[in-house]
Amino acid sequence: MPANLPPQYFKAEEEYKSAKTLPEKIAALEAMMAVMPHHKGTDKLRAQHTRHLSQLREQLESGGKGKRPSIYHIEKQGAAQTILVGPPNAGKSSILASLTHAAPHIADYPYTTAQPEIGMMPYRDIQIQIIDLPPTEGDVRKLPFYNLLRTADALVFVVDASGEPDAEVLLLVEELADGKVFTPLFGSGDLPVGGVRARALVALNKADSADAPAAAGKVREAVTDRIRVVAVSARDGTGIEALKDEIYGVVEIVRVYTKVPGKKADLGTPFVLARGSTVMDLAREIHRDFAEGFRFARIWGSGRFDGQSVERDHVLEDGDIIELHL
Ligand SMILES: Nc1nc2c(ncn2[C@@H]2O[C@H](COP(=O)(O)OP(=O)(O)O)[C@@H](O)[C@H]2O)c(=O)[nH]1
Ligand SMILES: [Mg+2]
């Protein structure tokens, strides 16, 4: 037992031992940690408690009966799911409102968004889901929060050009790495155990402010050429269309249309596939029978001549029209 633990610690520990429910246990453990002095002698105990606390919270989130599911369990909708991540007041809600038809809460004081706000961004003939998260501070940095970031198709870092956006971006990158979410700044080497890669983009907001041009230079320098940076103003609309293009680019999807032999192509709703998908992936997506009975496909687009026949491993490009022959 480390030295210098105050009496309040032991009192909270007693409460922990007699706690019957998860919330009681969590509260008591938090109280224990709150009164622990910070020094070398308590490092190990603190680490243990931190781990234990996150397990308890995980249990609580993941379905103790009758408990609310986490606000961070958000079902993917549309062609891709992207998350706005950034410090309070950077303009996430304003950007969400500019990109989608959502009407989030916007205010010039921090912490206005207590719940994730979700909108759908219409882009060409598809929709991309955009999520504005509550501020990433304190106890929201728990498992379901990171899980959402891990499974998203891309993260959009929203930072304020009139503040210190370069430092903010690097801080966010670090925070995410703590949750084992690695942005392209991490490089292409092996990931630590349990780590996932995340696609990312920087939206440098408040481009209407006087410091914006200088800020853009600093941010680009900070992220080298590994993350794309787009200057936007949710206030006057600058860069919003460019941001839509960048979001579409960063999620790495292709839209593919299908055609029945002898008929016109169905240019209504495209099939959406990951970039790099093949003709066979499309066939599988449509129906098992299409995959099993596949003989060849004809393609329109891809810089091929119209109607050229291609094999199953032909890689699809955005806008291709495919006629499957079984
Ligand atoms: N000058 C300027 N102010 C903005 C811009 N976008 C948002 N704001 C303001 O910044 C404040 C915070 O915006 P909000 O969208 O609530 O930020 P959030 O906390 O990141 O969701 C509000 O007062 C907005 O009006 C912008 O592009 N330019
Ligand atoms: Mg907000």
Most confident residue range from 37-41, 63-67, 223-227, 261-265: 223-227
Q: Which atom of ligand 1 is nearest to the CA of 87?
A: 20
pLDDT in the model for residue 138: 55
pLDDT in the model for residue 134: 74
Worst-scoring range by mean pLDDT, 2-6, 16-20, 276-280? 2-6
pLDDT in the model for residue 159: 97
Query: Where is pLDDT greater, at 305 or 225?
Result: 225
Q: Fold match between 81-251 and 254-325?
A: no
Q: Which fold has domain 254-325?
A: Ubiquitin-like (UB roll) (3.10.20)
Res. 59: pLDDT tops 90: no
In testing the pocket of ligand 1, which one of 83, 85, 89, 168 has its CB within 8 Å of the most ligand atoms? 89
Instruction: Convert the pLDDT of each residue in 160-181 to its tens digit.
Output: 999 999 999 999 999 899 889 9
Q: Which atom of ligand 1 is nearest to the CA of 96?
A: 15
Which residues are found with C-beta within 5 Å of the ion, ligand 2? 92-93, 113
Instruction: Convert the pLDDT of each residue in 300-324 to its tens digit.
Output: 987 788 899 999 999 999 999 999 9
CA of 66 to the centre of ligand 2 (A): 29
The 3-state secondary structure of the chain reads CCCCCCHHHHHHHHHHHHCCCHHHHHHHHHHHHHHCCCCHHHHHHHHHHHHHHHHHHHHHHCCCCCCCCCCCCCCCCECCEEEEECCCCCCHHHHHHHHCCCCCCCCCCCCCCCCCEEEEEEECCEEEEEEECCCCCHHHCCHHHHHHHHHCCEEEEEEECCCCHHHHHHHHHHHHHHCCEECHHHCCCCCCCCCEECCEEEEEECCCCCCHHHHHHHHHHHCCCCCEEEECCCCCCCCHHHHHHHHHHHCCEEEEEEECCCCCEEEEEEEEEECCCEHHHHHHHHCHHHHHCCCEEEEECCCCCCCEEECCCCECCCCCEEEEEC
Its pTM stands at 0.79
Instruction: Convert the pLDDT of each residue in 249-306 to its tens digit.
Output: 999 999 999 999 999 988 988 999 999 999 999 999 988 888 899 999 999 987 788 8
Q: How confident is the model at residue 90 (pLDDT cuts 50, 70, 90)?
A: very high
Lining ligand 1 with CB less than 6 A are 86, 88-94, 106-108, 112-113, 205-206, 208-209, 233-235
Res. 139: pLDDT tops 70: no
Average pLDDT, the chain: 90
- Domains of the chain by residue range: 7-61, 81-251, 254-325
CA of 161 to the centre of ligand 1 (A): 11
Instruction: Convert the pLDDT of each residue in 194-221 to its tens digit.
Output: 899 999 999 999 999 999 999 999 999 9
CA of 113 to the centre of ligand 2 (A): 4
pLDDT in the model for residue 141: 61
CATH dotted code for 81-251: 3.40.50.300
Instruction: Convert the pLDDT of each residue in 62-81 to its tens digit.
Output: 765 545 667 888 999 999 99
CA of 253 to the centre of ligand 1 (A): 30
pLDDT in the model for residue 137: 58
